[in-house]
Amino acid sequence: MLNFSKINIILIYVIFLFVSFFAILNFQNSNNQFIDKKLNLGLDLQGGSYLLLEINSNPLIKEKIQSKVIPIKKLLKDNNLSYSNFKINSSNLTFSINDTKKFETLFFSRKDNELNPYIDNYNSFELDFEVANSNIIKIFFSKYGLLTINNAALKQSIEIVRRRIDDIGTKEPTILQRGDKRILVELPGLKDPERIKSLLGKTAQLNFRLVSDNVEFGVEKLISEIGEELNVSKRIIMSGENLIDAQPNFNNQSNQPTVSFTLDRLGAQKFGRTTTDSVGKRLAIVLDGKIISAPTINEPITSGNGMISGNFSFQEATDLALLLRSGALPTPLSVVEERTVGPDLGADSIKKGITSLIIGFILVIFFMIYKYKIFGLIANLALVANLTMLIGVLTILEATLTLPGIAGIILTVGMAVDANVLIFERIKEELKTEKSIIHAFDIGYSKAKITVLDANITTLIAAIILFAFGSGPVKGFAITLGIGIVTTLYSAYFLARHLTSFIILNKKKDKVNI
């Protein structure tokens, strides 16, 4: 156990120096970073905003139930079922039918509890129905169907929220699912929470529609940003799904900020066809039910590129471009909880955490030197190396350090010493019976290895479970604890063991005081 080949020695210290190099990067000037790696501070340490968002899936359910109208009508027609009073409600469809028994047989085959294959092609347990007043059928989403819609909307909302926040440039945001309808957003160091709330609160449903001169069927009145009331066709020429890119720009002629956009092939074809057929007409650009711009089509636009102009500030143009790039939310989002952590509170937390770490570190150092003399000094050097490597690994991962993370580091200090205490106590026992000092140290390290590994592996399993099933601060604690265990074993069984072997092999005949 005390013999090291030259290759092993080189490897041990190369790995240590490599990882330690990343720890040093945290102390470099941010303006002179040659490697952009740094340990980030969490919300509780540097301040920032905490937002709890909730999706409202009701509009999506209404949209989805409307999409079932054509398949259901086709089913009724194909099977010679007469229906009347077909009504589309916010969460269900109702209609009168001449033969409810036949409809029930068609819709749900009770044999083997499976859906009728005809319906299964497009519904698959998504819909359910009930019969009211002997001949009125009400069709609605089943619990499974509602759960499927909700889960899909939540996952898509999380992805779009992430895109919007990343586009702003917020460093190390935490975006997590909470329950079945909520999204947790933590934004460390955020200085403008109102802007984020505004961006996340907009659904960003964009569409292009023609303005009509007359009030007629299929036309609705919408108000523009400047208060102008326009009759806008309900027919959507093109939606935001056809946008590839959107960027803020500046129009030198009007001296106004604008948003330039690029369309995909299908969008360019639709836009080109409409602008060709509608020269001289106005085109309403509608965002979340409000007209943001209604320019006149002066000439056909077939290039797939366009421009949205309006009464924008440059910040508003930038935010609009961001919303269009990130895509529309499937459902509206509302802020149900908001907290702001000030930087002063974060600075106080860092100060207290570092003070605790330093006090614990100093006490451990004095105890180890008092108890184990020169070998206590080796254990202390291994402890410093352990902490350096722990910070280095966290920096490589660009992890976010929180207060629970600092607690994990402090716990690592105790555990790192514990490994060396077990080894040295075992060596003491061996020195009582062994005449050879080298043999006593060798056996001591060998026999203590199982105990040290068992103690650390069980703690590592606990850390993995905490990481897998915990969230937020619990994950932060689990990460630092898990990495700390690995660096502890490395520093004890490679660095400290090599330094110990160096002393023992050079004091073969001298008495060793431990």
Q: Are 200 and 323 in contact (CB under 8 A)?
A: no
- 481: which 2 tokens? 């604890």
- Residue 190: the pLDDT is 73
Contact (Cβ atoms closer than 8 angstroms) between residue 394 and residue 483: yes
pLDDT tens for each residue of 288-346: 888 888 888 888 888 888 888 777 788 888 888 888 888 888 888 888 888 877 666 56
Instruction: Please tell me the distance from the alpha carbon of residue 137 to that of residue 100, in angstroms, as a whole number.
Output: 8
Location of structure tokens 């050097």? 381
Alpha helices by DSSP H, listed for 312-436, are: 314-326, 343-396, 403-433
Q: Cβ neighbours of residue 385 under 8 Å, at least 6 residues apart?
A: 16, 20, 491, 495
Q: How far apart are CA 401 and CA 395, in angstroms?
A: 10
Task: Report how far apart, in Å, the C-alpha atoms of 409 and of each of 334, 401, 412, 421, 481 are.
Answer: 37, 10, 5, 19, 7
pLDDT of residue 512: 65
Please determine, for residue 118, whether its predicted confidence score (pLDDT) is greater than 60: no
pLDDT average, residue stretch 388-396: 91
Q: How far apart are CA 285 and CA 401, in angstroms?
A: 44
Residues with Cβ within 8 Å of 95's Cβ and at least 6 positions away in sequence, in order, are 83, 84, 85, 86, 87, 136, 137
The pTM (predicted TM-score) of the whole model is 0.65
Structure tokens at 121: 């092609």
Identify the CA nearest to 488 among candidates 379, 395, 399: 379
Q: What percent of the chain has a predicted confidence (pLDDT) above 70?
A: 90
Structural domains present in the chain: 6-42+343-506 (1.20.1640.10), 60-146 (3.30.1240), 204-328 (3.30.1360.200)
Beta bridge partners of 212: 231
Which pLDDT tens digit goes with each residue over 479-488?
Answer: 889 999 999 9
Q: Residue 418: pLDDT above 80?
A: yes
> Is 218 or 62 the better-scoring residue by pLDDT?
62
CA atoms within 13 A on the CB side of 326: 27
Measured between alpha carbons, how far is 409 from 385 in angstroms, rounded to an integer?
Answer: 13
- As given in the structure block, the two tokens for residue 9 are 């020695």
